[in-house]
Amino acid sequence: MATEKEFLSEYRLSDYERPSVTADVAAFMIRSEENSSYRRNPENKLSLLLIKRGGHPFKGMWALPGGFLQSDETVEECALREIKEETDVLPVSIMPVGVFSRPDRDPRGWIISSVYVSIIGDESVKQVAMDDASDAQWFNVSFEKDGGGGYHLELSYEDIVLNAVLTEESSGFGRTFFSIKDSGSLAFDHAAMIASAITALRRAAESYDTIFDFLPEEFTLSAFQKVQETILNTSFQPANFRRMVSRYVEETGSFVRGQGHRPAKLYRRKKQ
Amino acid sequence: MATEKEFLSEYRLSDYERPSVTADVAAFMIRSEENSSYRRNPENKLSLLLIKRGGHPFKGMWALPGGFLQSDETVEECALREIKEETDVLPVSIMPVGVFSRPDRDPRGWIISSVYVSIIGDESVKQVAMDDASDAQWFNVSFEKDGGGGYHLELSYEDIVLNAVLTEESSGFGRTFFSIKDSGSLAFDHAAMIASAITALRRAAESYDTIFDFLPEEFTLSAFQKVQETILNTSFQPANFRRMVSRYVEETGSFVRGQGHRPAKLYRRKKQ
DNA sequence: CAAATAGTGTCTCTAAGACAATATCAC
DNA sequence: GTGATATTGTCTTAGAGACACTATTTG
């Protein structure tokens, strides 16, 4: 009878066929768009990083950034590494969305993907000024229920518009997965990944913790509110929103001036 | 310049080293334990299925059921298959917990594991009367915060008691991961998997949907309440619990009699 | 002054917690 | 009757939504 040490010295993993494993990341950013009137606060848009595929398969189509898992890292580390490579920014937060593993999901062969949501915060954004000719671009995101039980995902960047249609497949346990009716020129099963990622992001954004990752150190309550409204695609009464978040923030003492209206107090996150 | 078809016909995945992929499942069941007094309703215990390892590594230690992913199935299907093999029951629900992928987590080599929670409902339980000599057993579960910021996991079956100690590692986005201080004779990193699984289960049980998977078609509100209390490790005022769930259930018209106290109405889940 | 946001106060409504009281059975 | 659970009702409190009102700035 072999000891564990003897067993391991002779053990070979080659008995089983092995899949390739990738990590794909849905990296979100909030973009502020300056407004016409000097008085108006900037509008916010939720945007998502996509990469134009340079090679086969799905050549020329848009896809989530991602790459193959290496044997010296965890899947989370792989996801973070991919984002860093594409944006030069290391995200604060990363959240698992699910494993996409249908055997036919990749025409190259048996490749399963672990998908993450990440948030690129406001501070970092300034460094991420992307070259217009680059293969990596931030797309504006719209994701809504359409009339007949389906969902419509629209991603747009300048004159490029990707339209995908999905239906809810399973939603037990607070997670939602989608099946693709029309992939809208997104590569692989990435339309479904993006839909799941947005659902997970919105769910997480209901607790305010997540929102802070999108904000700079010091922020106004209006900015805070706009970010949450942008993610959740809803709106709040300012008075109620202030009351709701008051537990989580504290005043810094400084103000934002020069905006054509009453100066706003700056707040920071309150450490519990 | 090659077409996509030409590209794929020549593409080989062999450039990258590939990990083995497994699915491990934390399958929970609620066990009713008959009480001393004929009047008293049965007590509930949350229990978890563990398998005693027959071979190296970790021979003789207890582990979650699981197995290698096959190339004709998704990871979810693999998880369901493993549960079916061990219990002969196909669970109603399955929920992803996370991917465990530290390169050193398995002494046999590079093996990453996707972990799921599943629930074995009351109906099925009768078929799962396990042989006492079997390698598969249902362990009573206790998982609580200890004084100093750590967590204590206790799994017990007859005279076997496994005690693991863990600390919270990351808990962003409503998911919690743990690092192992003392594995308590659980194989691999399964103590951390179990801790994450229980956390995910409790979180899900806060919405009543999950609870129904533990209940038979027709149930009393006390039974419903006890199941939720068992999972969440809390207690409610019966009056308040009834009010809280009234939206989700409807009366069947029948009663449970012969219990030494007022007969209880039977309810069923209300379809929305 | 006009336009815009910043900020406060208050009413209402709903859901949850606490708790008292009654109903009904098997033995 | 006793001991147990089943069931109903009511008071209170916390939090969210609606909304009216005031404050402050820049051009």
Give the domains, in start order, of chain A with CATH numbers.
Answer: 17-207 (3.90.79.10), 216-269 (1.10.10.10)
Does residue A28 have a pLDDT over 70? yes
Q: What pLDDT sits at residue A8?
A: 75
Q: How far is CA A35 from CA A41, A42, A139, B31, in A?
A: 7, 5, 19, 61
- Residue-wise pLDDT for B6-62, tens only, equals 777 777 766 678 999 999 999 999 988 877 788 888 889 999 999 999 988 999 999
Q: What pLDDT sits at residue B14?
A: 66
Of A69, A107, A110, which has the smallest distance from its Cβ to B71's Cβ? A110
CA dihedral A189→A193→A199→A201, nearest 10 degrees, is: -160
Give A173's contacts in chain B (Cβ within 8 Å).
93, 95, 117, 200, 204, 209-210
Q: What pLDDT sits at residue A147?
A: 76
Percentage of chain B lying above the pLDDT 90 cut: 66
Does residue B265 have a pLDDT over 90? yes
Q: What pLDDT sits at residue B133?
A: 57
Helix (H) or strand (E) holding A64: none
Handedness of CA B105, B108, B110, B111 (dihedral sign): negative
Partnered with residue A165 across adjacent β-strands are A152, A182
Q: Which residues of A7-32 are buried (b: 16+ CB within 10 A; e: fewer)?
A: beeeeeeeeeebbbbbbbbbbbbbeb
Distance measured from the CA of protein residue A37 to the C1' of nucleotide C3, in angstroms: 10
The mean per-residue pLDDT over the stretch A142-166 comes to 93
Does residue A268 have a pLDDT over 60? yes
- Residue-wise pLDDT for B79-98, tens only, equals 999 999 988 888 877 889 99
Does residue A133 have a pLDDT over 60? no
- Residue-wise pLDDT for B203-220, tens only, equals 989 988 889 988 999 999
Work out the pLDDT band at B172, boundaries 50, 70, 90: low
Query: What does pLDDT average to over chain A?
Result: 89
The mean per-residue pLDDT over the stretch A214-232 comes to 94
Query: What does pLDDT average to over chain B?
Result: 89
Place of tokens 């006492």: B132
Work out the pLDDT band at A134, boundaries 50, 70, 90: confident
Give B199's contacts in chain A (Cβ within 8 Å).
none
The mean per-residue pLDDT over the stretch B148-174 comes to 88
Of B19, B95, B207, which has the smallest distance from its Cβ to A175's Cβ? B95
Query: What is the number of other CB atoms lying within 10 angstroms of the CB of residue A250?
Result: 12
B157 touches strand C (CB under 7 A): no
* Nearest residue on chain B to A204, alpha-carbon basis: B173
Does residue A129 have a pLDDT over 60? no
Does residue A122 have a pLDDT over 80? no
Q: What pLDDT sits at residue A152?
A: 96
Does residue A124 have a pLDDT over 70? no
Q: Considering only CA atoms, which residue is closest to the C1' of nucleotide D5?
A: B261
Closest CA to B21 of B75, B102, B76: B75
B232 touches strand C (CB under 7 A): no
Q: What pLDDT sits at residue A121?
A: 80
Work out the pLDDT band at B125, boundaries 50, 70, 90: low
The mean per-residue pLDDT over the stretch A135-141 comes to 93
Judge: A107–B73 Cβ closer than 8 Å, yes or no.
no
Of A20, A73, A203, which has the smallest distance from its Cβ to B18's Cβ? A20
Could you say which residues 180-239 of protein chain A have a Cβ atom less than 7 A away from any atom in strand C?
220-222, 238-239
The mean per-residue pLDDT over the stretch A58-74 comes to 95
Does residue A90 have a pLDDT over 90? no
Query: What is the number of other CB atoms lying within 10 angstroms of the CB of residue B22?
Result: 23
